[in-house]
Structure 1
Amino acid sequence: MHARLWSVQAARGQSNSAGVSLQILPGQTVTLGSKVSFGVTARKAGYLILVDIDAEGRMSQIFPTPELLAQSDGREINLVKPGVEFVVPSPAARQRGFEFVVAPPAGSAVMIAILSERRVQLLDLPDLPRKLQDQAAALSYLSAWTSELRVPDNASRRLLPNNWSFDVKPYSIK
């Protein structure tokens, strides 16, 4: 089955002050059952969260996962350093058996790299208020939602605003 890619031009207007860039490896067309990884670079340091919006419009955080966080020996499992490619899954995670295997549903989907200026590892993704027309609408909703989030600051014990950067890659599952 060959699926057309949804237009996500609206996402390009969203904030990307950190210059985050996402690559789907081996490419933006994948087959059911194949293994994929993700390469992320940024001009500024930040904490990476990968969110998938599948062909049916469901959002899920695929990195970092609670399982990976539990296995990690440090707090910086998702820290991206400026100018250094960050690959998910990492070689260490692959050695522990962590991999991404493409699963149904087939069709057009979107992967979103979210880079947080402040330490964030899990997002409690909202339930969509309605079935959105396409992935671009879901991205707009997610972007608006993150703009409202406040992040705890351990030093001051206050909730602070955060800078979020986004990159979006549509992909097709056959």
Structure 2
Amino acid sequence: MELRVERGRLTAYDTGDVAISLQPGPDLKPGDVFTISVTSNHDGQLVLLDVDAKGMATQIFPNTLAKKITSLTAGQPLTLPDPYYGFDFEAEGEGENMLVALVVEDDVDLTPVVPKEQGLSHKIDAREALSDIVARLRKVWTGDAENRGTAWYAGTLKYRID
């Protein structure tokens, strides 16, 4: 997957290995309640960011409200918020947003760049956050008999709030 910021907007090209869906759909009105589901073709740890039209991101997952921070299982959707959150996601603002899901198959420690304490609590610069994450993922994986690139996959979903 390639992620770039062009003219202040995040552009992403994904491989189809990670699917994101938004219920009730990608066209929302302010105040609409929605859920996000992520399904991967690969097992791995999930990082989910919501990037607004201004290039600011909210870390949706991992977060402190998720009672279980577990790896994704291939083919099994993870829906957020789950019943343990105690609240719903509600659409706010206007414009085109993008959900970016990264699934990391190898055991890479991403907590320095995506600590669960940061999730849902404040806006971060999407460009900086994704650059930090991708820099960690581009390092050579030495956990196998042969050195190789880290196994990670990505998916995106654009949605609108009008």
TM range (shorter): 0.5 to 0.7
The superposition leaves residues 34-81 of structure 1 with CA deviations (integer Å, 9 ceiling, x where unpaired) of 11111111111111121011122211201222233xxx2x5xx24211
Map of 2:98 onto structure 1: 110
Map of 1:62 onto structure 2: 60
Greater fraction helix: 1
For structure 2, the 5+ residue unaligned runs are 1-8, 144-148
TM superposition shift of 1:166: 1.0
Greater fraction strand: 2
Map of 1:11 onto structure 2: 12
SS at match of 2:47: strand
Map of 2:155 onto structure 1: 167
Distance 1:121 1:100 in 2: 25
Task: Note if 1:86 corresponds to 2:78.
Answer: yes
| Kept in 1: contact 2:110–2:133 (CA 8 A) | no
Distance 1:110 1:35 in 2: 17
Change (3 A) 1:41 1:26: same
TM superposition shift of 1:23: 0.8
**Number of residues of Structure 1 aligned to a counterpart in Structure 2:** 138
Distance 2:56 2:48 in 1: 14
Distance 1:50 1:78 in 2: 13
Map of 1:135 onto structure 2: none
With normalisation by structure 2, the TM-score equals: 0.68
- Residue identity (%): 23
Distance 1:36 1:121 in 2: 27
Distance 1:55 1:88 in 2: 22
RMSD: 3.4
Instruction: Name segments (4+ residues, structure 1) moved above 2 Å.
Output: 118-122, 124-128, 141-147, 161-164
Distance 1:35 1:118 in 2: 34
Counting only pairs closer than 5 Å after superposition, residues 42-53 of structure 1 correspond to structure 2 as 42-53=40-51
Change (3 A) 1:33 1:89: same
Distance 1:127 1:53 in 2: 9
Change (3 A) 1:79 1:121: farther
TM superposition shift of 1:86: 1.7
The structure, 1 or 2, with the larger RCO (C-alpha pairs under 8 Å, 6+ apart) is 1
